[in-house]
Amino acid sequence: MKNWRNHLGLLVPLLVVAGMVLWPVATGNLSNRENSFTILKAIALASSLNILLGYTGYVSFGHIVFYGFGGYVGLYFVNEQGWSIWAGILVGGISSGLLAFLLGKAILRLRGAYFALATIGINEAMKAFVNNFDLFGGPIGMTLNFSVYRAYGGAAEALRLSFYIMAGLTFAALILSHLVRTSKFGLGLQAIRENEDAAEVMGVVAPDAKTWAYVLSAIIPGMVGVLFFFKNGNVEPHVAFPLHASIELLVMVMLGGQGTVLGPIIGAFAYQGMRGFLVTSPIFKDIQLSVSGVVLLLIVLFIPAGAIGWLRQRIPSLRRVLA
Protein backbone atom coordinates (compact mmCIF):
# COMPACT_ATOMS: atom_id res chain seq x y z
CA MET A 1 0.00 0.00 0.00
CA LYS A 2 2.73 2.40 0.98
CA ASN A 3 4.77 1.50 -2.08
CA TRP A 4 1.84 2.07 -4.34
CA ARG A 5 1.38 5.57 -2.99
CA ASN A 6 5.02 6.37 -3.52
CA HIS A 7 4.56 5.81 -7.21
CA LEU A 8 1.34 7.78 -7.54
CA GLY A 9 3.37 10.68 -8.87
CA LEU A 10 4.30 8.66 -11.93
CA LEU A 11 0.69 7.87 -12.79
CA VAL A 12 -0.35 11.17 -14.34
CA PRO A 13 2.83 11.48 -16.45
CA LEU A 14 2.45 7.93 -17.77
CA LEU A 15 -1.21 8.48 -18.63
CA VAL A 16 -0.48 11.72 -20.45
CA VAL A 17 2.25 10.14 -22.53
CA ALA A 18 0.20 7.00 -23.19
CA GLY A 19 -2.54 9.26 -24.54
CA MET A 20 0.04 10.97 -26.70
CA VAL A 21 1.10 7.63 -28.17
CA LEU A 22 -2.42 6.30 -28.69
CA TRP A 23 -3.73 9.42 -30.37
CA PRO A 24 -2.03 8.86 -33.76
CA VAL A 25 -2.51 5.09 -33.49
CA ALA A 26 -6.23 5.53 -32.98
CA THR A 27 -6.68 8.14 -35.68
CA GLY A 28 -4.28 6.38 -38.06
CA ASN A 29 -3.25 9.79 -39.26
CA LEU A 30 0.39 10.20 -40.37
CA SER A 31 0.62 13.89 -39.65
CA ASN A 32 -0.73 13.27 -36.15
CA ARG A 33 2.04 10.75 -35.74
CA GLU A 34 4.62 13.30 -36.80
CA ASN A 35 3.25 15.84 -34.33
CA SER A 36 3.16 13.25 -31.62
CA PHE A 37 6.75 12.26 -32.40
CA THR A 38 7.88 15.88 -32.05
CA ILE A 39 6.15 16.27 -28.69
CA LEU A 40 7.39 12.91 -27.37
CA LYS A 41 10.92 13.87 -28.37
CA ALA A 42 10.58 17.19 -26.55
CA ILE A 43 9.23 15.40 -23.46
CA ALA A 44 12.07 12.89 -23.43
CA LEU A 45 14.75 15.55 -23.82
CA ALA A 46 13.20 17.98 -21.34
CA SER A 47 12.69 15.24 -18.75
CA SER A 48 16.33 14.25 -19.10
CA LEU A 49 17.51 17.83 -18.72
CA ASN A 50 15.29 18.11 -15.65
CA ILE A 51 17.46 15.57 -13.82
CA LEU A 52 20.33 18.03 -13.96
CA LEU A 53 18.39 21.30 -13.93
CA GLY A 54 15.39 20.53 -11.79
CA TYR A 55 16.76 18.03 -9.30
CA THR A 56 20.41 19.09 -9.08
CA GLY A 57 20.05 22.81 -9.81
CA TYR A 58 22.74 23.08 -12.48
CA VAL A 59 21.78 25.16 -15.51
CA SER A 60 23.08 23.54 -18.68
CA PHE A 61 22.80 25.78 -21.70
CA GLY A 62 24.34 23.24 -24.01
CA HIS A 63 22.49 20.05 -23.19
CA ILE A 64 21.79 19.43 -26.85
CA VAL A 65 25.47 18.45 -27.20
CA PHE A 66 24.56 14.98 -25.91
CA TYR A 67 21.77 14.64 -28.44
CA GLY A 68 24.10 15.66 -31.25
CA PHE A 69 27.11 13.67 -30.13
CA GLY A 70 25.27 10.45 -29.32
CA GLY A 71 23.26 10.82 -32.49
CA TYR A 72 26.36 11.19 -34.62
CA VAL A 73 28.11 8.22 -33.05
CA GLY A 74 25.04 5.98 -33.31
CA LEU A 75 24.25 6.94 -36.87
CA TYR A 76 27.85 6.36 -37.86
CA PHE A 77 27.65 2.75 -36.70
CA VAL A 78 24.23 2.20 -38.24
CA ASN A 79 25.15 3.75 -41.55
CA GLU A 80 28.84 2.98 -42.03
CA GLN A 81 29.26 -0.22 -40.02
CA GLY A 82 25.91 -1.84 -40.76
CA TRP A 83 24.76 -2.08 -37.14
CA SER A 84 21.07 -2.40 -36.35
CA ILE A 85 19.15 0.62 -35.12
CA TRP A 86 18.91 -1.03 -31.70
CA ALA A 87 22.66 -1.36 -31.38
CA GLY A 88 23.05 2.14 -32.77
CA ILE A 89 20.72 3.60 -30.14
CA LEU A 90 22.53 1.73 -27.42
CA VAL A 91 25.96 2.92 -28.51
CA GLY A 92 24.62 6.46 -28.90
CA GLY A 93 23.33 6.44 -25.33
CA ILE A 94 26.53 4.95 -23.97
CA SER A 95 28.79 7.39 -25.77
CA SER A 96 26.77 10.38 -24.58
CA GLY A 97 26.85 9.03 -21.05
CA LEU A 98 30.60 8.58 -21.32
CA LEU A 99 31.05 12.10 -22.66
CA ALA A 100 28.99 13.45 -19.77
CA PHE A 101 31.08 11.48 -17.31
CA LEU A 102 34.33 12.94 -18.62
CA LEU A 103 32.96 16.46 -18.97
CA GLY A 104 31.25 16.24 -15.61
CA LYS A 105 34.49 15.45 -13.82
CA ALA A 106 35.86 18.72 -15.17
CA ILE A 107 33.11 21.31 -15.44
CA LEU A 108 30.78 20.43 -12.58
CA ARG A 109 33.26 22.18 -10.31
CA LEU A 110 31.94 25.40 -11.77
CA ARG A 111 28.87 26.89 -10.19
CA GLY A 112 26.01 29.06 -11.37
CA ALA A 113 26.52 31.07 -14.51
CA TYR A 114 30.10 29.82 -14.96
CA PHE A 115 28.76 26.29 -15.45
CA ALA A 116 26.13 27.58 -17.88
CA LEU A 117 28.84 29.35 -19.89
CA ALA A 118 31.06 26.28 -19.95
CA THR A 119 28.22 24.17 -21.35
CA ILE A 120 27.72 26.71 -24.14
CA GLY A 121 31.44 26.56 -24.89
CA ILE A 122 31.42 22.77 -25.00
CA ASN A 123 28.47 22.66 -27.37
CA GLU A 124 30.11 25.17 -29.71
CA ALA A 125 33.50 23.45 -29.52
CA MET A 126 31.86 20.10 -30.30
CA LYS A 127 29.91 21.56 -33.21
CA ALA A 128 33.07 23.12 -34.64
CA PHE A 129 35.02 19.90 -34.10
CA VAL A 130 32.46 17.68 -35.85
CA ASN A 131 32.51 20.21 -38.66
CA ASN A 132 36.16 19.26 -39.13
CA PHE A 133 35.87 15.56 -38.42
CA ASP A 134 36.06 13.65 -41.68
CA LEU A 135 34.88 10.34 -40.26
CA PHE A 136 31.50 12.00 -39.57
CA GLY A 137 31.43 13.71 -42.94
CA GLY A 138 32.74 17.11 -41.84
CA PRO A 139 30.50 20.07 -42.72
CA ILE A 140 28.33 17.94 -45.04
CA GLY A 141 27.45 15.45 -42.34
CA MET A 142 26.13 11.97 -43.06
CA THR A 143 23.25 10.80 -45.21
CA LEU A 144 21.64 7.48 -44.48
CA ASN A 145 21.90 4.84 -47.20
CA PHE A 146 18.37 4.19 -48.26
CA SER A 147 19.12 0.47 -48.16
CA VAL A 148 19.38 0.64 -44.37
CA TYR A 149 15.61 1.02 -44.12
CA ARG A 150 15.13 -2.23 -46.09
CA ALA A 151 16.01 -4.33 -43.05
CA TYR A 152 12.95 -2.85 -41.33
CA GLY A 153 10.54 -3.45 -44.21
CA GLY A 154 11.09 -0.24 -46.15
CA ALA A 155 11.01 3.46 -45.33
CA ALA A 156 7.37 3.64 -44.26
CA GLU A 157 7.75 0.77 -41.83
CA ALA A 158 11.03 2.16 -40.50
CA LEU A 159 9.30 5.46 -39.73
CA ARG A 160 6.49 3.63 -37.97
CA LEU A 161 9.01 1.69 -35.93
CA SER A 162 10.81 4.94 -35.09
CA PHE A 163 7.63 6.30 -33.61
CA TYR A 164 7.25 3.33 -31.29
CA ILE A 165 10.89 3.48 -30.28
CA MET A 166 10.42 7.17 -29.53
CA ALA A 167 7.44 6.28 -27.36
CA GLY A 168 9.57 3.70 -25.55
CA LEU A 169 12.38 6.18 -24.96
CA THR A 170 9.91 8.74 -23.64
CA PHE A 171 8.51 6.23 -21.15
CA ALA A 172 12.05 5.34 -20.18
CA ALA A 173 12.87 9.01 -19.61
CA LEU A 174 9.83 9.45 -17.36
CA ILE A 175 10.51 6.34 -15.34
CA LEU A 176 14.15 7.33 -14.95
CA SER A 177 13.11 10.81 -13.86
CA HIS A 178 10.67 9.36 -11.34
CA LEU A 179 13.15 6.84 -9.99
CA VAL A 180 15.80 9.50 -9.52
CA ARG A 181 13.32 11.81 -7.85
CA THR A 182 12.10 9.25 -5.36
CA SER A 183 15.47 7.67 -4.59
CA LYS A 184 18.05 8.39 -1.94
CA PHE A 185 20.35 9.49 -4.73
CA GLY A 186 17.69 12.01 -5.78
CA LEU A 187 17.36 13.30 -2.24
CA GLY A 188 21.09 13.97 -2.29
CA LEU A 189 20.73 15.81 -5.60
CA GLN A 190 17.95 17.98 -4.23
CA ALA A 191 20.08 18.76 -1.19
CA ILE A 192 22.83 19.89 -3.58
CA ARG A 193 20.32 22.03 -5.45
CA GLU A 194 19.21 23.77 -2.28
CA ASN A 195 22.65 24.31 -0.75
CA GLU A 196 25.67 22.45 -1.99
CA ASP A 197 27.95 23.34 0.92
CA ALA A 198 25.39 22.30 3.53
CA ALA A 199 24.76 19.08 1.60
CA GLU A 200 28.46 18.21 1.72
CA VAL A 201 28.59 18.90 5.45
CA MET A 202 25.76 16.38 5.82
CA GLY A 203 27.75 13.79 3.92
CA VAL A 204 26.47 14.08 0.35
CA VAL A 205 29.44 13.34 -1.91
CA ALA A 206 28.53 16.19 -4.21
CA PRO A 207 31.20 15.73 -6.91
CA ASP A 208 30.15 12.13 -7.54
CA ALA A 209 26.43 12.76 -7.23
CA LYS A 210 26.58 15.65 -9.69
CA THR A 211 28.60 13.63 -12.17
CA TRP A 212 26.11 10.76 -12.10
CA ALA A 213 23.20 13.17 -12.45
CA TYR A 214 24.94 14.61 -15.51
CA VAL A 215 25.49 11.13 -16.94
CA LEU A 216 21.86 10.12 -16.36
CA SER A 217 20.64 13.31 -17.97
CA ALA A 218 22.81 12.66 -21.05
CA ILE A 219 22.02 9.04 -21.94
CA ILE A 220 18.48 9.37 -23.26
CA PRO A 221 19.25 12.50 -25.30
CA GLY A 222 22.04 10.51 -26.99
CA MET A 223 19.60 7.73 -27.81
CA VAL A 224 16.97 10.15 -29.08
CA GLY A 225 19.62 11.73 -31.31
CA VAL A 226 20.39 8.40 -33.01
CA LEU A 227 16.71 7.69 -33.52
CA PHE A 228 15.92 11.13 -34.87
CA PHE A 229 18.79 11.20 -37.35
CA PHE A 230 17.89 7.65 -38.41
CA LYS A 231 14.30 8.74 -39.01
CA ASN A 232 15.38 11.93 -40.75
CA GLY A 233 17.85 10.08 -42.97
CA ASN A 234 20.65 12.58 -42.47
CA VAL A 235 22.59 14.69 -40.00
CA GLU A 236 24.65 17.88 -40.28
CA PRO A 237 26.62 19.75 -37.61
CA HIS A 238 24.22 22.68 -37.35
CA VAL A 239 21.21 20.34 -37.14
CA ALA A 240 22.87 18.23 -34.45
CA PHE A 241 24.09 20.99 -32.13
CA PRO A 242 21.67 23.92 -32.32
CA LEU A 243 22.25 26.15 -29.30
CA HIS A 244 18.70 27.49 -29.47
CA ALA A 245 17.33 23.97 -29.04
CA SER A 246 19.19 23.74 -25.71
CA ILE A 247 17.50 26.91 -24.61
CA GLU A 248 14.11 25.69 -25.82
CA LEU A 249 14.55 22.69 -23.53
CA LEU A 250 15.29 24.99 -20.61
CA VAL A 251 12.16 26.94 -21.47
CA MET A 252 10.04 23.80 -21.49
CA VAL A 253 11.33 22.67 -18.10
CA MET A 254 10.82 26.15 -16.72
CA LEU A 255 7.31 26.47 -18.21
CA GLY A 256 6.06 23.27 -16.68
CA GLY A 257 8.01 23.46 -13.45
CA GLN A 258 11.52 22.35 -12.58
CA GLY A 259 12.16 19.45 -10.28
CA THR A 260 8.90 17.64 -10.91
CA VAL A 261 8.24 14.63 -13.15
CA LEU A 262 5.12 16.15 -14.68
CA GLY A 263 6.55 19.64 -15.22
CA PRO A 264 8.68 18.94 -18.29
CA ILE A 265 5.76 17.10 -19.92
CA ILE A 266 3.41 20.01 -19.46
CA GLY A 267 6.17 22.38 -20.53
CA ALA A 268 6.95 20.41 -23.68
CA PHE A 269 3.25 20.29 -24.55
CA ALA A 270 2.70 23.95 -23.92
CA TYR A 271 5.79 25.06 -25.77
CA GLN A 272 5.25 22.86 -28.83
CA GLY A 273 1.55 23.70 -28.82
CA MET A 274 2.25 27.41 -28.68
CA ARG A 275 4.80 27.15 -31.45
CA GLY A 276 2.48 25.11 -33.61
CA PHE A 277 -0.25 27.66 -33.15
CA LEU A 278 1.98 30.67 -33.79
CA VAL A 279 3.69 29.26 -36.87
CA THR A 280 0.36 28.57 -38.55
CA SER A 281 -1.50 31.62 -37.29
CA PRO A 282 -1.96 34.24 -40.01
CA ILE A 283 -1.60 37.06 -37.49
CA PHE A 284 1.46 35.86 -35.57
CA LYS A 285 3.27 33.76 -38.13
CA ASP A 286 5.78 36.50 -39.02
CA ILE A 287 6.57 37.46 -35.46
CA GLN A 288 6.07 34.08 -33.81
CA LEU A 289 9.51 34.22 -32.24
CA SER A 290 8.75 37.58 -30.63
CA VAL A 291 5.43 36.36 -29.27
CA SER A 292 7.15 33.30 -27.78
CA GLY A 293 9.68 35.67 -26.28
CA VAL A 294 7.00 37.79 -24.65
CA VAL A 295 5.27 34.71 -23.22
CA LEU A 296 8.57 33.38 -21.88
CA LEU A 297 9.41 36.73 -20.31
CA LEU A 298 6.04 36.94 -18.59
CA ILE A 299 6.49 33.46 -17.17
CA VAL A 300 10.04 34.09 -15.97
CA LEU A 301 8.98 37.34 -14.33
CA PHE A 302 5.70 36.29 -12.80
CA ILE A 303 5.51 32.51 -12.36
CA PRO A 304 9.13 31.38 -12.09
CA ALA A 305 8.12 28.09 -10.43
CA GLY A 306 6.37 27.03 -13.65
CA ALA A 307 2.84 25.69 -14.00
CA ILE A 308 3.28 22.64 -11.76
CA GLY A 309 5.27 24.55 -9.17
CA TRP A 310 2.55 27.19 -9.11
CA LEU A 311 -0.17 24.59 -8.60
CA ARG A 312 1.83 22.84 -5.90
CA GLN A 313 2.30 26.11 -4.05
CA ARG A 314 -1.39 26.99 -4.28
CA ILE A 315 -2.87 23.56 -3.58
CA PRO A 316 -0.58 21.59 -1.26
CA SER A 317 -2.90 18.57 -1.28
CA LEU A 318 -1.95 18.02 -4.92
CA ARG A 319 1.71 17.55 -3.96
CA ARG A 320 1.63 13.78 -4.06
CA VAL A 321 -0.15 13.54 -7.40
CA LEU A 322 1.72 16.35 -9.11
CA ALA A 323 5.14 15.02 -8.24
Partner 1 sequence: MQQLSLLLASLPDGILLGFVYGLAAMGLTLIWGVMNVINLSHGPIIALGMFGTFFLFIRMGINPYIGLIPVAGLGLLIGIVIYFVAVHRVINAPHLSSLLATFSVNMIIIGLGTAAFTTSPYNVDFNMGSFRLGSTTILGTRLIAALIAVLFTGGLYLFLYKTRPGRYIRAVTNNRAAAELMGVPSTRILALSFGLGTMLAAVSGALIATFFPFNILSGGSYELKSFVIGVLGGLGNPIGALLGGLILGVLEGIIPAFLETSWVPVIEFALFVVILLVRPKGLFGAK
Partner 2 sequence: MTVLLSVQGVTKRFGGLQALTHVTFDLPEGQILGLIGPNGAGKTTLFNAINGIYPPEEGRIIFREKDVTTAKTYDHARMGMARTHQIVQPLNDLTVRENVMVGACFGRENQSLGHATDTAAEVLNFVELAARSDQLAGSLNVAQKKRLEMARALAARPYLLLLDEVLAGLNSSEIGNMVEMVKSIRERGITIIMIEHVMKAVMSVSDRIIVLDYGEQIAEGTPEEISNNEKVIEAYLGDPKLAEKLLREQED
Contact criterion met (CB below 8 Å) for 91 and 77: yes
Is residue 314 a contact residue for partner 2 (CB under 8 A)?
no
Nearer residue to partner 1 within complex by CB, 151 or 300: 300
Nearer to partner 1, 157 or 286 (CB): 286
Give the count of residues interacting with partner 2 (CB under 8 A).
Answer: 20
Q: By CB under 8 A, is residue 293 in contact with partner 1? A: yes
* Shortest distance, position 199 Cβ to partner 2, whole Å: 7
Q: For residue 291, what are the CA distances in angstroms to 133, 165, 231? A: 38, 33, 31
**125 is a contact residue toward partner 1 (CB under 8 A):** yes
| Residue whose CB is less far from partner 2, 260 or 288 | 260
303 in contact with partner 1 (CB under 8 A):
no
Site residues for partner 1, 85-124, by CB under 8 A, read 106-107, 109-110, 112-114, 116-118, 120-122, 124
- Torsion sign across C-alpha atoms 150, 153, 159, 162: negative
198-231 CB burial, b ≥16 within 10 A, e <16? ebeeeebebeebbbbbbbbbbbbbbbbbbbbbbb
Give the number of other Cβ atoms within 10 Å of residue 314's Cβ.
Answer: 8
Question: Does the protein bind partner 1 through residue 289 (CB under 8 A)?
Answer: yes
Tell me the C-alpha to C-alpha distance, in Å, between residue 35 and each of 38, 191, 297. Answer: 5, 37, 26
N residues, the chain:
323
Binding part of the chain for partner 1, among 56-64, 152-160, 169-177, 211-219 by CB under 8 A, reads 56-64
Nearer to partner 1 by Cβ, of 84 and 290: the residue is: 290
Please, which residues bridge with residue 235 across strands?
142
Number of residues that bind partner 1 (CB under 8 A): 43
Nearest of 216, 264, 220, 224 to residue 240 by alpha carbon: 224
User: In sequence order, what DSSP letters do the residues of 177-231 get, joined into one string?
Assistant: HHHHHHSHHHHHHHHHHH-HHHHHHTT--HHHHHHHHHHHHHHHHHHHHHHHHHH
Residue 287 binds: one of partner 1, partner 2, none (C-beta under 5 to 8 A by kind): partner 1
Q: How far apart are CA 157 and CA 129, in angstroms?
A: 34
CA-to-CA distance for 86 and 74, rounded, in angstroms?
9
Residue 314 contact, options partner 1, partner 2, none, Cβ 5-8 Å cut-off depending on partner type: none
As measured in angstroms, the least distance from the Cβ of 313 to partner 1 is 16
Stretch that binds partner 1, among 92-100, 195-203, 212-220, 247-255 (CB under 8 A): 247-255
Nearer to partner 1, 100 or 107 (CB): 107
DSSP 8-state class, residue 61: S
Site for partner 2 in 190-219 (CB under 8 A): 190-191, 193-195, 197-206
For Cα atoms 292, 296, 299, give the angle at the middle one, nearest 5 degrees. 145
* Residue among 166 and 307 whose Cβ is closer to partner 2: 307
> Nearest-CA neighbor of 149 among 137, 161, 166?
161
Instruction: Choose between 18 and 205: whose C-beta lies nearer to partner 2.
Output: 205
Rule CB under 8 A: choose which of 19, 82, 139, 153 binds partner 1. Answer: 139
**Cβ neighbours of residue 100 under 8 Å, at least 6 residues apart?**
66, 211, 214, 215, 217, 218, 219
Which residues are at the interface with partner 1 (CB under 8 A)? Answer: 53, 57, 59, 61, 106-107, 109-110, 112-114, 116-118, 120-122, 124-125, 127-129, 131-132, 139, 247, 250-251, 254, 286-294, 296-297, 300-301, 304
Which residues are at the interface with partner 2 (CB under 8 A)? Answer: 183-184, 187-188, 190-191, 193-195, 197-206, 259
